[in-house]
Structure 1
Amino acid sequence: MNAFFSTRAGCVVRWLDLPGDGVPLVFVHGLGCASSYEYPRVVCDPNFQGRRAILIDLPGYGYSEKPKEFSYSISEQARVVAELITHLQLNDYFLYGHSMGGSIAIEAATQLDGLRGLIVSEPNFRPDGGFFSRQICRVDEETYITHVYALMMNNYKNPWTGSLSAAAPWAVWRGASSLIAGNQWLEMFVELNKPVCLLFGEKSLPDTDFTQLSAMGITTVELADCGHNMSWENPPALAAALAAFCTEHE
């Protein structure tokens, strides 16, 4: 596990740098998740083809520190991702983000030099958030921290609970609130002057944005036998899709 002090977040951010060949792929996780928890199985899959992978735990999540003073907004998290990539002196890389991490990756992509291409899976493209963001923000931050976070830990018995247990509840609430407030992520994605790709699990379809972007000629990929939680529902399919995009644009 690697670490550096983020001046943007005012805390230590940690990541895994898994060795491999080719242009590296940087992973950005979703709400309540951690790349160190979610993506080693994907990177180790034969379908990933042994590419170097950098798995970031965002501030507030996983092994990274969790200061209460940080905003945990999508824009600030994107600046932390850009800061880490600069710290690593990467001048040629791909970027992948899932769900909230997709929105973060889209914003980070607009700030970065050296980006080879961007892949997002089921990101938040528009304000209003997703189902869990809206559920989280039905209460105020303090109520979520003191009561609802523990209820979620008790009620959701799936792999997400494991990473949620390592997430700061204030980071989760503020991240959800920022997703609901929103930004022009769809427009940023479409206008990015780099190769882009949108992934969706077949169980999440049909989806209006997926259909619209496909009709516009943007690369869209449907992953079989999975829904939103594709990294643990079908890691070989996600690994294959990521590797195919990187190989095509390397």
Structure 2
Amino acid sequence: MRVRQWRDGGRQLRTRAGSVFVRSAPGAGPTVVLLHGYPSSSYDFREVVERLGGRAWLAIDFLGFGLSEKPRPHHYSLFEQADIVEEAVAATVTGSIVLLAHDMGTSVATELLARDIDGALTCTLDRAVLSNGSVILEKASLRPIQKILRGPLGPVAARLANRPVFTHEFAQLFSAAHPLTKSEAEAQWELLSHAGGHRIAHLLTAYLAERVTHADRWHGAVRDWDKPLGFLWGTADPVATVAVLDGLRALRPAATVVELPGLGHYPQLEDPEAFAAGARLLLDIDNS
């Protein structure tokens, strides 16, 4: 599926923070809410949603990403992105939800878990799955470009961003067995650069600092949330390495884990069938 097809099947939703792209489909419940990572979009899940066993689903492009509005200047925050998820669910979903979160989306998910613990979540959340996200940042291996974007040279690096540089960097996240394809690279750049999004990469990486500042809250949510939480992990990930997964296991020893051997940071793109099978197991879709 190309970007235009994905776009044409969705719509823009006005939230308090700005207009965001959402795409959804009816089906059995609870609704699977898909939360993407940095620097990509809900397009990452295009081959997963058709493998969810007839479940209703909702995919969202976070503010600043994909086909959503990309305001500047703006303070992009995981708390605001969590607010957007709650608004999108309220506008789209009837009934309870489950979360399937990747990369940056895992921190949005853990904020939603924390709100559920606090009794402040505005929707009913039944279970969640975290996939290849550096929730425990000190155990991750950030790419050099991520470190640059976080620092004082971040604005310069964002201004110099271009398609060849992006394609080279993005390709490093894929395993040798499932390399980044030319068509995937083209689609990802189209979405990243939509509305000049590649120029705000330094603003979007603010979530990494929030992962440090709010680690106690979000690690505590992984540990203490009293509903089913699973981990779905490509074990050849060079960023959210198995060390991150081991840290999550230590926080939540009873969690069910599905490892995807040989898959990199984007397992849903490298092997959508294996990723979807793991998601169905952890979300209890095959048994519902």
TM-score under structure 2 length normalisation = 0.75
The answer to whether the 8 A contact 2:155-2:202 is kept is: no
Aligned to 1:198: 231
In structure 2, the CA distance between the partners of 1:245 and 1:198, relative to structure 1 (3 Å rule), is same
Residue type of the alignment partner of 1:187: G
Identity %: 24
1:142 shift after superposition: 2.4
Closer/same/farther in 2, CA of residues 161 and 13 from structure 1, 3 Å limit? same
Find the counterpart in structure 1 of residue 155 from structure 2: 142
Q: Return the match for 1:121 from 131, 148, 153.
A: 131
Unaligned runs of 5+ in 2: 1-9, 116-120, 172-179
- Is 1:95 equivalent to 2:95 in the alignment? no
Q: Aligned pair in 2 of structure 1 residues 155, 175: CA closer, same or farther (>3 Å)? A: same
Partner of residue 26, structure 1:
33
Q: How does 1:107-186 map to 2 (within 5 A)?
A: 107-111=111-115, 112=121, 113-127=123-137, 130-132=141-143, 133-148=146-161, 152-153=165-166, 155-156=168-169, 158=180, 159=184, 162-167=187-192, 168-169=197-198, 171-182=200-211, 183-184=214-215, 185-186=218-219
- Note closer, same or farther for the CA distance 1:144–1:228 as it changes in structure 2 (3 Å cut): same
Aligned-partner Cα distance in 1 for 2:102–2:161 = 24
* 1:58 and 2:62 matched: yes
Match of 1:3 in 2: 12
Distance change in 2, residues 1:234/1:58 (3 Å): same
Deviation track 1:17-64 (CA, whole Å, cap 9, x = no partner) reads 0233232100010001110x211111123xx21211111111111111
- 2:44 corresponds in structure 1 to 38
Change (3 A) 1:197 1:238: same
**Deviations 1:119-144, CA, capped at 9 Å, x for gaps:** 11022223467524324324534213
State which drifts further: 146-155 or 55-64: 146-155
Contact 1:203–1:225 (CA<8 Å) still a contact in 2?
yes
2:288 matches 1:243: no
Q: Which amino acid aligns with 1:2?
A: R
Using the TM superposition, name which of 234-243 and 161-170 deviates more: 161-170
**Which has the higher mean CA deviation after the structures are superposed, 214-223 or 161-170?**
161-170
Pair 85,171 (structure 1): closer, same or farther in 2 beyond 3 Å: farther
Structure-2 residue corresponding to 1:14: 21
Which deviations, in whole Å up to 9, do the C-alpha atoms of 1:214-250 show, x marking residues without a partner? 3521222101341211011110011111111222685
1:233 aligns with 2:270: yes
Residues 90 and 162 of structure 1, relative CA distance in 2, 3 Å threshold: same
State the Cα distance separating 1:153 from its structure 2 match: 2.6
Deviates more, 1:158-167 or 1:101-110: 158-167
How far apart are the structure 1 equivalents of 2:114 and 2:188? Answer: 28
- C-alpha distance in 1 between matches for 2:78 and 2:282: 25
Q: More displaced, 73-82 or 132-141?
A: 132-141
| SS of the residue 1:228 aligns to | coil
Alignment deviations for residues 42-91 of structure 1 (CA, whole Å, 9 cap, x no partner) = 1123xx21211111111111111111143222222112112222222543
Q: Secondary structure of 1:64's partner?
A: coil
Please provide the CA RMSD for this pair: 2.5
* Alpha-carbon distance between aligned partners in 2 of 1:242 and 1:119, rounded to the nearest angstrom: 7
Report if the CA contact (8 A) 1:32-1:160 is conserved: no
Q: Provide structure 1 residue ranges, at least 5 long, that are not aligned to the other structure.
A: none
Contact preservation (8 Å) 1:32, 1:164:
no
Change (3 A) 1:230 1:139: farther
Cα distance in 2, alignment partners of residues 166 and 120 from structure 1: 23
Q: How does the TM-score come out when normalised to structure 1?
A: 0.86
